[in-house]
Amino acid sequence: MDLDLNARLARLPGAPAEEISLTPGKRVLFLTKDPELIRRQLAGDLDLTLDDVGVEDLLDDINTDAMTPAWVCFRHRPADIARDAYAGLIVDEERLFATDALKRGNFEVIASGFRKGTGSSRETAVQAEKWSGIRIAVAASFAPIHARNNVNQGVLMTNHDVLRRLQAGESVPLDVFLETFDPITRLIVRCGGLFAFNRALAEGILEVPATGTGERPMTMGEKLIASHLLGEGGRGVKPGDAVAVTVDGGYSHEFTTAQVHEFLREEFGEDYVLKDPSKFAVFEDHLIYADDVPRMARFLPEIQILRDLQRTFQEHTGVRDFSARDGTSPGICHQVAREEIIEPGDFIQATDSHTCMGGGAGALAYGVGATEYAALVQSGFTVARVPETIRFELEGRLRPGVTAKDVMLHILLHYAKPQKTLDRILEFGGAGLHGLSMDERATLANMATECSARTGICEADDETARWIAAHRPGVDETALKARFVAADAGAVYDGGVHTIDLSALEPMVADPGDPDRGIPSDPTNGRLVRDLGDVRIDIAYGGSCTAGKEDDFDLYAAVMREAAESGRRVAEGVRFFIQFGSEAVERYATERGYLETFAATGVEVIAPGCGACIGCGPGVSETAEQVSVSAITRNFKGRSGPGRLYLASPCTVAASALAGRIAAWSPRARGNPRA
């Protein structure tokens, strides 16, 4: 890099020094698998080095729910969020980190194991550390969205070898912290964060470096990025290239919009404007049932502030409004976005990790933090690093009772655990994919984030155009087909091409703790339902963005219709909740008579919204002893109440509700249960 540019960037407010060293008197916190060692460090009784603990002794897969559980995210000011950093790290049903514990500990470095920051895209996880004094995060690897949030907030990231040098008293050149980054990310770090980078760009202090990549065979994701290059669309890109790209649209919800509004006010003043408000939207879906949840009562004032600030943002900017009407949400943002907003070939950014659900329609879509979203809605473009791609060639057909959720649990077990999917685009294709409905393809894309992938994307076909046109009267199918993007012959898949025979799959279940492994780690996790044994349940829940779609309701109804015909109901002592993903799904189920079937078999039906998946609605466990089986996206400890939560498909959830224990569905009639 130009040494003169380095010097100019180093003078920017908040920019890091060219030599990084530990501050005398400041401490390093090691997040060890032994909770007692964490307690002693927080109390000031113990200081550790990498001579005392190894990488294998540190916690892996620390998720953003543990760093800032949902109730902490009800606050929109980072300093307030930081007070309860790591409030979701629970040991023996008690918080490991008390209020202000991280800040009081005088730490400036925090160290963990592999895949730091999995799960939700919530930038609050980074804010909780930064506003507690952390300026360096150390891990063997970082989940992609979390890593980007660190970069955007100006928190340095590195590995354990560099930490060893720092603890030995060495001053480490900033360039060492930047070695794995693309040229644009290096510039963002040198500026001290994303907003500082954007200011430097606008003032002409720096410019986006060219990649120099020429035409080449490309994967679907690479072609979509190439077609959106800012000012120079059409040339090739390759994995690792740093690019500036235009954005076709995006959205935020009441958990995140308040911060977006506040950040824009701070950076651009009270009269800030957006580049093109018509491309963006706000949704009121995540906290729609908070008022009805007793344990949420003490948070309602903070929640109301989030709602009010979202309305202020919408009125100020004029973005599309999907707010609740008369207390009813139009639906979960990801489901409504695929019904009304997203088209094939789009590049979509939104403030939620399940934004990748849009990939089911052949779009490139993934979640970003509030800082990145605020910057892109104001400018109309964003910066990105071109990810590697791993392709799944699907063949055969799913057997009755097996669903796309089971496909993703299979991928989580066999590909996510060895980190083959980490930060990659999951590209789905093949005859097996084209035999799946659009709703099932949406499930594949939706759960890419559980694999710590950047996103998922499905090949588009005639069914893609037909489905979108059916949900948007007046949309021309031919015009939609013109937007299809297909991988080039000869495209390179750095993660390999892997064939999955759908006909060989069986119903699967993820043990409590994580979609792919459980906490503590259990080598039998991801096992087949038939091998699970007798697991009695108290709650069954069907809903969320991944399991509240039309096809999911076909499956719930098919299982419960069989039960009704044989005089069976939900098992005694079990509550079975089913929640619509959107108003359109509710109309679909009503028109087909599903509500009568549910009423006859003891199912409790809930209006559209997120609900139990975010710990904010019926279906949440109330005690640690309760056992749930749920079709939601992820089952991190405490995410949907204090009980033990198993993750399974809509079929398995419904069958389990009837059996009173986790059980797979064996349809009486062979063939398509949706017929």
Q: How confident is the model at residue 203 (pLDDT cuts 50, 70, 90)?
A: confident
Tokens of 309: 């600030």
Q: Select from 385, 416, 433 the last residue of a domain.
A: 385
Q: Could you tell me if residue 513 is inside a domain?
A: yes
Query: In terms of domains, do 54 and 122 share one?
Result: yes
Say if residue 520 is preceded by a cis peptide, omega within 30 of 0. Answer: yes
Query: In terms of domains, do 519 and 664 share one?
Result: yes
Beta partners for 113?
Answer: none
| pLDDT beyond 70 at 672 | no
Query: In terms of domains, do 149 and 224 share one?
Result: no
Q: Mean pLDDT of all residues in the chain? A: 92
Find out whether 504 and 395 touch, Cβ atoms under 8 Å.
no
Place of tokens 């949902």: 70
Cα dist from 163 to 168, 214, 433, 643, whole Å: 8, 38, 45, 37
Angular region, 234: left φ>0, alpha ψ -120 to 50, beta rest: left
Neighbours of 619 (CB within 10 A): 27
Reported as a single tens digit per residue, the pLDDT across 384-440 is: 999 999 999 999 999 999 999 999 999 998 998 778 998 999 999 999 999 999 999
Query: In terms of domains, do 262 and 126 share one?
Result: no
Identify the pLDDT of residue 533: 84
Angular region, 95: left φ>0, alpha ψ -120 to 50, beta rest: beta
Identify the pLDDT of residue 637: 79
Tokens of 328: 């009813």
Identify the pLDDT of residue 234: 53
Find out whether 124 and 72 touch, Cβ atoms under 8 Å.
yes
Q: What's 574's domain CATH number?
A: 3.30.499.10
Average pLDDT over residues 565-582: 97
Q: Could you tell me if residue 488 is inside a domain?
A: no
Query: In terms of domains, do 659 and 517 share one?
Result: yes
Q: How confident is the model at residue 670 (pLDDT cuts 50, 70, 90)?
A: very low
Q: Select from 364, 385, 406 the last residue of a domain.
A: 385
> What is the C-alpha separation between 583 and 589, in angstroms, rounded?
10
Find out whether 579 and 542 touch, Cβ atoms under 8 Å.
yes
Tell me which residue range forms the domain holding 551. 507-675
Place of tokens 């070695």: 179
Radius of gyration in angstroms for the set of CA atoms belonging to the chain, rounded to a whole number: 24
Report how many domains make up the chain: 3
Report how far apart the first and last C-alpha atoms of the chain are (Å, whole number).
62
Reported as a single tens digit per residue, the pLDDT across 287-338 is: 988 888 787 888 999 999 999 999 999 999 999 999 999 889 999 999 999 9
Find out whether 156 and 189 touch, Cβ atoms under 8 Å.
yes
Find out whether 256 and 346 touch, Cβ atoms under 8 Å.
no
Q: Could you tell me if residue 615 is inside a domain?
A: yes
